[in-house]
Amino acid sequence: MSRLILHIGMPKTGTSSLQETLFNLGGVGELRYANLGVVNHGGVITSFFADDPHAWRGHRVAGRSPEEIKSYNQQTLTRLEAVCEAHGQQIISGEDIWHMSQTALIKLRDFFAKHFERIEVVGYARPPASFMASAFQQLVKNHGLARLRVEAYYPRYREKFEKFDRVFGRENVTLRL
């Protein structure tokens, strides 16, 4: 049976370590780590399926022009088609995926549903207080932030995760602490 596992890596849940390991090994057992040219698939997936790929922060940070974004997404399409042609059991893992809109997730689902018999979504979540403390530490470390605004860092899990249930079906979504 062909199966796609979509790992919606929430920040601060060990996602980067998992991605590095799978990327370096190429997968584990029968599971292949999708070859999308990068360790963290979140950006390429977000750019390709986004309602507005120009709005993805990765393109803004890189200063890509509309033509460069089109070329970037064309390269992504070529890689995605190769993943689909390989069938079997593939893993796509990306931290940005949990931020995608429901519309973008529907496009993602419809694209892969033509090639995989089953699409499973797997995600990990930290307890809210732990997530907020870590997010605040990162902001202090990387951006010099000095004031904790609890409401700004609360993870809003229901808003972020419920859309996966709606798009992929609750029976195909596994969330773990």
The pTM of the full predicted model, rounded to 2 decimals, is 0.87
- Indicate whether 28 pLDDT > 80: yes
Higher pLDDT, 39 or 136: 39
Is the pLDDT assigned to residue 93 strictly greater than 70? Answer: yes
Judge whether 46 and 100 are in contact, CB under 8 Å. Answer: yes
Q: Residue 32: its pLDDT value, please?
A: 96
With pLDDT > 90 as the criterion, what percentage of the chain qualifies?
Answer: 67
